[in-house]
Amino acid sequence: MATLGSAGVPLESAMATAASVSPAATRTARHSLLVRVTHWIITLCFFALLITGSEILISHPRFYWGETGHDLTPTLFRIPIPASRRLVPTGYGYTLPDQNGWSRALHFQAAWVVVLTGLLYGIYGLFSGHFQKNLLPRKPDFSWRGISADIGRHLRFARPTDADARSYNLLQRFTYLFVIFMLFPLVIWTGLAMSPAFTSAFPATVTLLGGRQTARTLHFFVSVALLLFLIVHVVMIFVAGFGHRMRAMIMGRASSRMEDV
């Protein structure tokens, strides 16, 4: 005879039902399909841009300020590495293999994919409420105790706990907003300002920056800032739980013990 529970339901049936719904109850929707797709497209393109950008840099690891700059002019600064072109003065007695041709082609293609994908993400974020819900800071976040505690946790690379809120904290929100609305637009702008075809149609893009060489120098510094963000982002993913984070960004659902990076 089946044992009855307090509600008159067979105990075995109640236990089976609880077991069947328990896993589902521990997972909640985290990232929408469009956010996940654009995230991975931009990630792949960023690695392509990083590799090809490094190859382009090797061809002339010298930086200038203003409109012009070449092998015989003084530099603003230089990267102490050998170049892939013999006429570039680097102080080394040899040159690296020149991969500048395919690197430039792939760099520009990947950059345009990032631009179009970023526009799609931006339009979605504005009209779906994604930015307002997940990225814009909230009033409860603006407290000195909360801000200092959050900065301390990040500096210690502390692992999030189940007691943490299941949303981005203030430092994360500011960081993502800065990357999305400052660094990415600036790296795109400075990249376009180095294109003679683009600047011939829109000369203000390079004039406002002070010259093509200034655009190239700024492009380098913004790219380094994006690379540093990527490194910290990946480190925090491992600290917070690599499997959970990857599952959330691939499948769109997060377990109850997972907090955002």
User: What is the structure's pLDDT at 250?
Assistant: 85
Q: What is the CA radius of gyration of the chain?
A: 25
Decide which of 51 and 154 is more confident: 51
Identify whether the C-beta of residue 88 lies closer than 8 Å to the C-beta of residue 71: yes
Average confidence (pLDDT) over 26-36: 76
pLDDT band for 134, please (50, 70, 90 cuts): confident
Per-residue pLDDT, 21: 44
Residue 77 main-chain phi, psi, to 5 deg: -165, 170
Q: Is 160 helix (H, G, I), strand (E, B) or coil?
A: coil
**Closest among 168, 114, 159, 184 to 257, alpha carbons compared:** 159
pLDDT tens for 163-204 read 444 567 778 888 999 999 999 999 999 999 999 999 999 999
Identify the band that residue 248 occupies on the pLDDT scale cut at 50, 70 and 90. confident
Whether pLDDT at 162 is above 60? no
CB 251 within 8 A of CB 39: no
Mean per-residue pLDDT, 13-18: 47
What pLDDT sits at residue 167?
A: 66
Provide the percentage of residues in the chain whose pLDDT is more than 90.
52
Q: Are 113 and 45 in contact (CB under 8 A)?
A: yes
Q: How many residues does the chain have?
A: 261
Which sign does the torsion angle of CA 17, 23, 25, 31 carry? Answer: negative
Tell me what pLDDT residue 239 has: 80
Predicted confidence at residue 19, as pLDDT, reads: 44
Query: Which one has a higher pLDDT value, 13 or 185?
Result: 185
Mean pLDDT across the chain, nearest whole number?
83
Residue 191 makes CB contacts below 8 A (sequence gap 6+) with 111, 215, 219
Which residues neighbour 236 within 8 Å (Cβ) at sequence distance 6 or greater? 154, 157, 261
pLDDT of residue 16: 46
Determine the pLDDT at residue 150: 72
- Position 23 pLDDT exceeds 80: no
Under a CB-based contact definition with an 8 Å cutoff, are residues 194 and 219 in contact? yes
Find the Cα–Cα–Cα–Cα dihedral 165, 166, 170, 174, rounded to 10°: 170
- Residue 139's pLDDT is what? 72
- Using one digit for the tens of pLDDT, what is the confidence trace for 38-91? 999 999 999 999 999 999 999 999 999 999 998 888 999 999 999 999 889 898
Query: For residue 140, is pLDDT > 70?
Result: no
Render pLDDT for 82-125 as a digit per residue (tens, 0 to 9). Answer: 999 988 989 898 999 999 899 999 999 999 999 999 999 999 99
